[in-house]
Amino acid sequence: MKDQRLEIKDIVKYIDDATLGKLDIPEFQRAFVWSPDKAKRLVDSLWRGYPIGTILLWESKYSSPRVARGNQTQRLWVVDGQQRITTLSLLFGKKPYWWGNAGEWNKYYEKYDVLVDVSKPKDSLEFGLPNPVRKKSSEWISVRSVLICKDDEELSKFAIEIAERTGHKLSEVHGKLQSIKKIESYPLYEIIIDHEIEDVAEIFTRLNMAGVKVRESDVIIALVAAKQQGWVREEFNPFLKSLEDKGFEIDPAILIRSLAVIGKGMARLKDIPENFWEKSEDFQKGWEKTKASVSFVIRKMYEIGILSSDLLPSHNALIPLFVLHSKFGAFNFKKALYWFLLATGDGRYSGSAITALDQDVKSINESSNFDDAISVLLEPLHIPVSFTKDDFLKDYRDEFLRLVLYLVIFNKEAKDWLYQDIRIGYDRSDNKLNEGFKPEWHHFFPTRVLKKQDIDDSKIDILSNIVILNEKANRTFTSKEPTEYLKVQNVKMERLIEQIVPTDENLWRVSNYDKFLERRASDLADEVNKWMEELKNG
Task: With a cut of 50, say whether residue 72 has pLDDT above it.
Answer: no
- How many CA atoms lie within 13 Å of 415's alpha carbon, on the beta-carbon side? 12
Which pLDDT tens digit goes with each residue over 366-382?
999 999 999 999 999 99
**16-50 residues labelled b (16+ CB within 10 A) or e (exposed):** bebeebbbbbbbbbeebebebeebbbbbbebbeee
Mean pLDDT value across residues 262-278 = 86
CA 409 to chain centre: 27
Long-range contacts of 433-439, Cβ-Cβ distance < 8 Å, separation of 24 or more? 433/302, 433/307, 434/307, 435/245, 435/246, 435/247, 435/307, 436/246, 436/247, 436/307, 436/308, 437/247, 437/307, 437/308, 438/308, 438/310, 438/311, 439/311, 439/406, 439/468, 439/469, 439/470
Q: Which of 109-113, 358-362, 407-411, 435-439 is the least confident region? A: 435-439
**465-479 residues labelled b (16+ CB within 10 A) or e (exposed):** bbbbbbeebbeebee
Query: What is the predicted pLDDT for the residue at 100?
Result: 66
Query: What is the predicted pLDDT for the residue at 147?
Result: 94
- Angle separating helix axes 333-346 and 370-378, nearest 10 degrees: 10
Q: Which CATH class is domain 2-113+185-198?
A: alpha beta
Task: With a cut of 60, say whether residue 212 has pLDDT above it.
Answer: no
Select the highest-mean-pLDDT range: 12-26, 218-232, 359-373, 432-446: 359-373
Which pLDDT tens digit goes with each residue over 7-53?
888 888 877 654 445 677 766 566 777 899 999 999 999 999 888 88
Supply φ then ψ for residue 145, to 5 degrees.
-65, -20
- How many CA atoms lie within 13 Å of 203's alpha carbon, on the beta-carbon side? 17
Query: What is the predicted pLDDT for the residue at 1?
Result: 56
Dist CA 492 CA 124 (whole Å): 65
Q: Which of 39-53, 433-447, 493-507 is the least confident region? A: 433-447
pLDDT-based confidence at residue 199 (cuts at 50, 70, 90): low
Beta partners for residue 77, in sequence order: 24, 58
Query: What is the predicted pLDDT for the residue at 30?
Result: 61
Mean pLDDT value across residues 521-535 = 97
Select the highest-mean-pLDDT range: 133-142, 222-231, 256-265, 516-525: 516-525
Percent residues over pLDDT 70 in the chain? 86
Q: 28 or 502: which carries more pLDDT confidence?
A: 502
Q: Which of 102-106, 216-220, 447-451 is the least confident region? A: 216-220
Coil/strand/helix, residue 6 = strand
Q: What is the pTM of this model?
A: 0.69
Would you kindly state where each structural domain of the chain is located, as residue ranges? 2-113+185-198, 115-176, 215-330+341-362, 389-537
Mean pLDDT value across residues 263-292 = 89
Task: With a cut of 60, say whether residue 63 has pLDDT above it.
Answer: no
pLDDT-based confidence at residue 66 (cuts at 50, 70, 90): very low
Query: What is the predicted pLDDT for the residue at 103?
Result: 82
Mean pLDDT value across residues 94-119 = 86
278 burial class (0-12, 13-18, 19+ CB within 10 angstroms)?
Answer: middle
Q: What DSSP string describes 246-258?
A: TT----HHHHHHH
Query: What is the predicted pLDDT for the residue at 258?
Result: 94
Q: 432 or 46: which carries more pLDDT confidence?
A: 46
Query: What is the predicted pLDDT for the residue at 69?
Result: 37
Averaged confidence pLDDT in the chain = 85
Q: 483 or 197: which carries more pLDDT confidence?
A: 483
pLDDT-based confidence at residue 219 (cuts at 50, 70, 90): low
Dist CA 96 CA 83 (whole Å): 13
Mean pLDDT value across residues 481-496 = 91
Distance between terminal CA atoms of the chain?
61
Coil/strand/helix, residue 388 = coil
